[in-house]
């Protein structure tokens, strides 16, 4: 379950779907402004993902759509239930998968060549998990 907000001049094709952004609201701008101070970069857009429980998940992928440019910068802010964010190297089988617990209020910043070499996912969980909302701020060129 997703929603896409941002500068209304910036469309985004995601998983083969053309997303037209909803205009920024006050709450999202508050988070965006704090994030931009930390990341030292201006974001154009944010994709929201709503995970109702442990059955909602997201499969392996890289955030490498062409609109995100050569080296995508992704600022990922999480609220609610903690979930495991897993990363795996695309080419090197000798590098172990990395598990990162994304807790309420956490920020994960991906940049540089990360999307060239790594995929990420949010796996399903058999545990009883409460709701989580994740915001991935993106720069669309």
Residues that bind ligand AKG (CB under 6 A): 47, 49, 58, 63, 76, 85, 102, 120, 122, 134, 136
Beta carbon of residue 87, minimum distance to Mn ion (angstroms, whole number): 10
DSSP state of 29: H
Of the residues 5, 6, 51, 63, which one makes contact with Mn ion according to CB under 5 A: 63
DSSP state of 22: B
By beta-carbon proximity to ligand AKG, the closer residue of 15 and 94 is 15
C-alpha distances in Å from residue 48, one per residue of 1, 80, 91, 133: 8, 13, 29, 7
By beta-carbon proximity to Mn ion, the closer residue of 63 and 81 is 63
Give percent helix, percent strand, percent coil of the chain, each to the nearest 5.
15, 40, 45
Task: Answer for the pair 122, 83: CB distance below 8 angstroms, yes or no.
Answer: yes
Interface with Mn ion by CB under 5 A: which range of 14-22, 34-42, 45-53, 60-68?
60-68
Beta carbon of residue 112, minimum distance to Mn ion (angstroms, whole number): 15
Beta carbon of residue 26, minimum distance to Mn ion (angstroms, whole number): 26
Count of residues binding Mn ion (CB under 5 A)? 1
Q: Binds 122, which of ligand AKG, Mn ion, none (CB < 5 to 8 A, cut-off by type)?
A: ligand AKG
Task: Return all residues near 108 (Cβ < 8 A) that are at least 6 apart.
Answer: 75, 76, 78, 85, 100, 102
């Amino acid at each position: 379950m997703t929603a896409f907000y941002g500068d209304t001049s910036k469309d985004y094709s995601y998983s083969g779907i053309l997303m037209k952004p909803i205009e920024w609201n006050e709450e999202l701008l508050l988070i965006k402004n704090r994030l931009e101070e930390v990341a030292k970069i201006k974001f154009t857009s944010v994709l929201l993902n709503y995970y109702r429980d442990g059955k909602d998940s997201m499969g392996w992928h890289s955030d490498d759509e062409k609109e995100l440019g050569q080296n995508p910068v992704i600022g990922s802010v999480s609220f609610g239930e903690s979930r495991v964010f897993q990363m795996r190297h695309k080419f090197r089988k000798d590098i172990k998968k990395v598990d990162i617990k994304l807790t309420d209020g956490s920020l994960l910043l991906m940049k540089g060549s990360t999307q060239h070499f790594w995929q990420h996912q949010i796996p399903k969980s058999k545990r009883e998990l409460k709701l989580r909302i994740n915001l991935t701020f993106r720069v669309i060129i």
